[in-house]
Structure 1
């Protein structure tokens, strides 16, 4: 039986095409389609229901230090109201999941991917000591408001959010509804994520969607937006067989930190380089190059595979991300993707494809 988010009825009312995704019925797009939704988010503001993702809270004086032992990142250094993107690693250095950790007044709030929710929560509970209290938050919905108009809209409803910089959070009211609001998101645009109790979810969603600049966005455009932004997706660029170094996530590491699962392999790659690395591909064809397509060099030797690929509405052409042999991953290098019986030319590209527009307060 597929689960439903608290906005299921609102999605149907809004003309959504619903599909199964990570055990939920989710909107893949609405009446005007993926390309329209994608471009609207880039130019105005898009509303995303991401309530299928997992939310949990870890309390206790040792919560930060214990969580830090499960990730390569600096968790103990998080100040109240700060967020961090990081990964949970396994003993082989692979990625169990990528997560967002926020330090708030209650403890450490963690957001995990929907498809990984059960294994992540089991992993955390099995590795945290009895000095930590783990609490699942199934009674909370999660929304994202993304795009250049997002800040103006949020300031109208919750003025204190204007003081947030990228990857900062606060507790605030929106029309009397208590929310946890962070200035974050996964589109490359400025935006916010809002955690709210399920029983207020429909009311809050309708309030935001009533704004002229805001339109609902489904899973289809959510994926093309994150691909243009060069952001990893679990199950594609991130798996239990791919290390953070191979995925290009060197920036998540805490200097000098070596007490996390898989540290020996990961730190060796960090020092000497990985044999394969994530890179962008710009496709010289109208034919999209999809996940799983083998990439070959001009000598017809396989040197990697596509992890994500789609048409880019912003660029008007197909793009992809791939795991490639490091020796073949120089920007501008011409390679070939095998698509059915054809070989399609692709050029290695730096990431992201589209510049990020995250908002950071200027330091005085």
Structure 2
């Protein structure tokens, strides 16, 4: 990416602080960043902070005696390979959608002939307002790439969609945009990814579940989307926001997850990362069991096998990838699972090490019919990116 240039427009809102991390990631990747800071944005981050991280002068005034003597807004609008607006406020989106130009940021957006990427951030009610939805549709029809927003708690105290996508997700989208078609080898492909735990009710209060956080599956869904793939993420209960550009389907039980997976077919690739309960209670209690009562006797029945079902489906994905979380004899169990399930690869991961199940890192081996490929311990994000690249190679 050396030699690539970004024009970064920072809008007003508490999410503006994340633009500093985005600038750091871009500079770390050797991408030049020229910043425009709106007046509202300067209420949340300082020009000095932005200039230090971008390693370039911060522009803010449309009627600057020095910059505009050389038609600065024209030069800025065409000097970069990509224009990025993060955060893209409701006001900036409205101006861009309707061709308004009353400050440096909006004038630059109107004058540019380069691709534009926006990462919206605003209150949940503003995001859901009919005017914002119209503006969003107009921008997308005009060819603007939209990243996010995420769903979660907001600074205003409300909860819902409207949070700025995480800097890492915006960074990945920028890298894909700068790389062009070569950076989106999975464009036109469809992926199904399962993630997180499943929960099987014992009674209205208690459940059988496991320690899966969903991080690895979510990271894989995000990495596939960054390569241009259309991703459906079928997720058990987690505390994670849906990755940018990914359609998330929330489920609880193994049977619900299987139904959601079947509904997501056809797909080119299925990656079954979820830690699915092998068994469920034969019958869940209609009322909460009391401690004063005798200890209940649990009769368990087998859950459907999602990986095996997808591997033998009539609309079978071209590539079916399973995961095997093991505490011992990891590779032997993975090879046996590969033969038993009928999938193409098993990603074997040793969860006996601290910090894997529910943690940030993973140690995996790719087990296929041609042999075993062992990877060094890495962050789950790095494992996801490497696996997504392998999937792209296989589908090519």
TM-score range, shorter chain: under 0.3
Query: Which protein has greater RCO, CA pairs closer than 8 Å, 6+ apart?
Result: 1
Structure with the higher strand share, 1 or 2: 1
| Rg comparison, structure with higher value | 2
Structure with the higher helix share, 1 or 2: 2
User: TM-score scaled by structure 2?
Assistant: 0.24
